Amino acid sequence: MVKGKIISFILFISISVIVLGLNAFPNYYAYINTPLGNSFSGQASWFDPWDINVYVSTIKWGQGGNVLLQNNYTTAEHTPVLMYPFYTLLGYIFNTLPSYLLFHSLAVVFGFLLLLTIWKLNRVFITETRESLIAVILIALGGGLGWLFFPQLKSADFFIPGLPFKSHFQRPHEALGVIFYLFSLILFFKAATLKKIKFNLLSLGALFPLIFFYPYYFLSYLLICGLYSLLIFLKNNDKKPVIYVFINASLVIPFILIYLNHLRSSEGFSGVISQQLNNPDIIQLILGYGILSAFMIYQLIYLKKDKITVFLNIWFFSSLLLSFLPFGFSRFYLRTLFFPAVILSLLSLELISSKLHLSKKFLISVLLVILPLSSFYISYKRLAEAENSNHWYYLKSTEREALEFLDTSTPKGSGVLASYTMGNYIPANTNNKVYFGHLLQTPNAEEKINNSIMFYSNKFSEEEAIEFIKEARVNYIIFGPEEKNITLSNSQSSDLKYTFLFPVFKNPEMIIYAF
């Protein structure tokens, strides 16, 4: 028995090395293959590299001795709030480490904890040790058919961050938030089925920290646990699970409302709070789950409905329905659904095996070969992109020099005007804030984009430009290749016409103006 546990642990460590390596190694590979005349940006991301810079900027803000966050993707005055406290606290604690290195190190640490959580919690539903380890592989690396149809079709496993678990191993806050969410749901399941209040208290304990990561997940928690409790009551006339749900809701909802009110008290984060993301469509989701789509339909029709399968089906299909609600954050309810989908698929293999006269081992082999293909393909693309001088992988040395000037030679908290790319990099690499640098993080982003284009296109008169700069609280103006392209495309000049500007930094490609 001891020997079996040791072998299982060794296998788990091996799986962890593969999963974490697939997600972390492309960053290192891009770093060691930085082209001559370029500087590594700090990341080699497939999903939303501009978001990674936001998280790194938050770490950097914490490293400056702050816990409450000021949004450095806007120059507008606002009250700091308790946003992304995970990053500000860890930045505060590890204030001497380079912020990008700290971010990637945290991704490995919390990614490992997430894998450990997946392994231990799937044992609630899968009793056989070997299958529980297979479940870890399929949940952690699982994907759909994006590898087959990219880029012709937008499969959800390639275009919706968080649908597969892959992005959770690259963003440490996602890993920890998902850990709390998994614990809250599965511990409630144990409380409801075993009728032990200690598991409900533990579930409640996981809900409270989840508020600071994903407060909207309480809606899915309430729906999943509420429906499951209602079914237990209707079948067994057992009121305990319903009471557990009521108690948890009564205790958690006031804290969620207080926290959301706290966030809304600051105009600086209005873009994040009111974000509008597109809902997925059915074809995207079918492709995103790939062969699991067929397994899920089959098991829903034919698999025997017991406590485990009922709970997992409620989890999967209620969350799927929530993803179509007309809220900007609805697509985030797709997170973690590979967990119940994989477990239900594994539980249905015996039945499928007997129906199709195929061995269970063969079916498991098919899953192990096909499900991880998207993860391997994305990792391959991340490695291959290092050869293309991707601007989200590499900055030109001239751009790095400009960032270093802003960081070392300008007052902390100075407002900077730049185009999108440099505007996104500046808060993560300097102690300055930007007028515009992120489509969601920057409030009223569309207005800021239009104003920036007007300025760089020389459309403002001298007086209008001065008024704009003052109202925007801008102290420095970046004029590099991207900004010059705006000027060239929209005016008869290759330079800014405003006479009140004077250069404080200049190299062959970059100018930083002050006024």
CA distance 504 to 515: 9
**Could you tell me the strand order of the sheet in which 415-417 lies?**
433-434, 415-417, 476-479, 511-514, 502-506
What pairing do the DSSP bridges indicate for beta strands 433-434 and 476-479?
unpaired
CA distance 345 to 292: 7
State the pLDDT at residue 494: 85
What DSSP string runs through 179-213? Answer: HHHHHHHHHHHHHHHHT-HHHHHHHHHHHHHHTTT
CA distance 190 to 276: 35
Distance set, CA 154 to CA 145, 160, 333, 372 (Å): 10, 9, 19, 18
Instruction: Report whether the peptide linkage leading into residue 209 is cis, meaning its omega lies within 30 degrees of zero.
Output: no
Domains of the chain with bracketed CATH: 2-32+99-250+277-384 (no CATH), 394-514 (3.40.50)
Question: Nearest-CA neighbor of 210 among 160, 166, 173?
Answer: 173
Distance set, CA 210 to CA 52, 89, 139, 207, 276 (Å): 20, 16, 21, 5, 22
CA distance 118 to 511: 50
State the pLDDT at residue 140: 97
pLDDT in tens, the chain (515 residues): 677 789 999 999 999 999 999 999 999 999 999 999 999 999 999 778 999 999 999 999 999 999 999 999 999 999 999 999 999 999 999 999 999 999 999 999 999 999 999 999 999 999 999 999 999 999 999 999 999 988 888 899 998 888 999 999 999 999 999 999 999 999 999 999 999 999 999 999 999 999 999 999 999 999 999 999 999 999 999 999 999 999 999 999 999 999 999 999 988 888 787 777 788 889 999 999 999 999 999 999 999 899 999 999 999 999 999 999 988 889 999 999 999 999 999 999 999 999 888 999 999 999 999 999 999 999 999 999 998 888 999 999 999 999 999 999 999 999 999 999 999 999 999 999 999 999 999 999 999 999 999 999 999 999 999 999 999 999 999 999 999 999 998 887 889 999 999 999 999 999 999 98
State the pLDDT at residue 328: 84
Distance set, CA 493 to CA 460, 461, 477, 480 (Å): 14, 14, 17, 14
Residue partners of 105: CB distance under 8 A and separation at least 6: 97
State the pLDDT at residue 356: 87
Contact 419, 246 (CB under 8 A): no
CA distance 242 to 228: 9
Question: Nearest-CA neighbor of 394 among 37, 2, 90?
Answer: 37
Q: Which residues pair with 476 in a beta bridge?
A: 416, 514
- Two tokens, residue 225: 């646990």
Residue partners of 269: CB distance under 8 A and separation at least 6: 71, 78, 81, 83, 263, 443
What pairing do the DSSP bridges indicate for beta strands 394-396 and 511-514?
unpaired
Q: What's the alpha-carbon Rg for the chain, to the nearest Å?
A: 25
* Unique residue bearing structure tokens 């249905």: 348
State the pLDDT at residue 274: 77
Question: Nearest-CA neighbor of 172 among 80, 332, 74, 51?
Answer: 51
Task: Provide the phi-psi class of 21: left if phi over 0, else alpha when psi is between -120 and 50, else beta.
Answer: alpha
Contact 37, 28 (CB under 8 A): no
Planar angle of CA 242, 248, 254, nearest 5 degrees: 135
CA distance 256 to 6: 42
